[in-house]
Chains A and B, each alone.
Chain A
Amino acid sequence: MKQIGGGVETKPTKDNALGLVYRKNGSFESICQRLQDSLMVGKNYKIVLSASISEKYMSRVAGEPFEQNFDDRLVVDIWMGSTVCHEALLAGRTNEIDHKEWKEYSFEFIADEAYDHIFIRVNSIDNRTNILGHVLIDWVSDIKCLDP
C-alpha cells in the first residue's frame, strides 16, 4: 500500500456527502459494495477519494440520551475483501483528517487475491479509544489498473 496523494485540495460543487462516525465504545460506521469485476492478482491498482470534516457533527452514543459533537480526528481505511464488509487487504489509509476543505487522497496497492468487494471505514488514530469522531467522504474513484 502506498499513499501517493495526501491532501490535494479539491472543490466538489455539491453539498451531499457520506458521513462516517467512530464512537467512544469502539464502534464505527462503514460501507461496502461488491465490485463489478474482480481485481487481478499481482496487478497494481490506484484508487482516490476525497475527505473532509465538518465543524460540527452531532450524533449519539447508545445509552446517552443527548447528542454530542463528534469532533475527534480519524483516518479513513480502504479495504479490499472477498465477501461483504470483509477486511482482507488494506489498500489505503489516509492521514489524520483534520481539514474542513475537501482534499483528495490517492493510494496504490497490489492485489494479492482476486478481491471483488471494497470496504470503506473510519478508524481511530493509533488505536486510541474513548473518542467521538467523524469523517465526510465523497468522490470515490474507480479502481484504476496501472499495469498494461
Chain B
Amino acid sequence: MNPLFDLFTKNFATLILTMSTLNLLSQDIKIANRTFEGEPGIGREVPHQVFIKDKIKISEIIYPMSLLPKPWVDCGPKFMAGLTPPDIHSSETNWWGG
C-alpha cells in the first residue's frame, strides 16, 4: 500500500475519532442559558412580574425581563397583528406595553 495513503488514512481516522469524542460532529444547535437562573430580583425598578405561588409571595424569584441572561434579548412590547399599538415610547408605558 502506498505509505502516503496509509498515513493519510490513519490521520483521517484519528481526526474523525477526536472530533466525535469532542462532539464536534453533532448537528445539534446549542442554546445558551437554557434555564433562567442568575440573580433574580436584583435591579427591578418597576412593579412588574410579581409572582406568588403556593400562597407565598416570592416576587423576588421571578426573572425580570431586564435581567435576561445574555444572549437572550427582550423583544419589548409586541402587538398582535391588526392591533394599533399605543405610544409605546412614553416613559409611562414602555415597560408593560401600552
Q: Report the bound CA distance from A95 to B63 in whole Å.
A: 23
Q: How far is the CB of B43 from chain A (nearest CB, A)?
A: 14
| A60 with B47, Cβ < 8 A, contacts A37-B30, A54-B53 known | yes
Interface residues of B in 37-74 (CB under 8 A from A): 37-38, 40, 47-55, 58, 61-63, 65, 68, 71-74
Interface residues contributed by chain B, number (CB under 8 Å): 49
B8 within 8 A of A: no
Contact residues of A: prevailing secondary structure: loop
Asked if A27 and B85 make an inter-chain contact with CB atoms under 8 angstroms apart, the answer reads yes
Q: Given the complex, which residues of A lie within 8 Å of B65, measured CB to CB?
A: 29, 31
Q: Given the complex, which residues of B lie within 8 Å of A55, measured CB to CB?
A: 52-55
Q: Given the complex, which residues of A lie within 8 Å of B78, measured CB to CB?
A: 27-30, 85, 121
Identify B49's interface contact among A57, A85, A124, A143, CB under 8 A. Answer: A57
Asked if A19 and B51 make an inter-chain contact with CB atoms under 8 angstroms apart, the answer reads yes
| A19 with B62, Cβ < 8 A, contacts A60-B48, A121-B78 known | yes
Binding site for B on A (CB under 8 A): 12, 14-19, 21, 23, 25-40, 43, 45, 54-63, 67, 84-85, 100, 118-119, 121, 124, 127, 129, 136-145, 147
Identify B35's interface contact among A16, A35, A38, CB under 8 A. Answer: A16
Q: Report the bound CA distance from A27 to B78 in whole Å.
A: 5
Asked if B75 and A144 make an inter-chain contact with CB atoms under 8 angstroms apart, the answer reads no
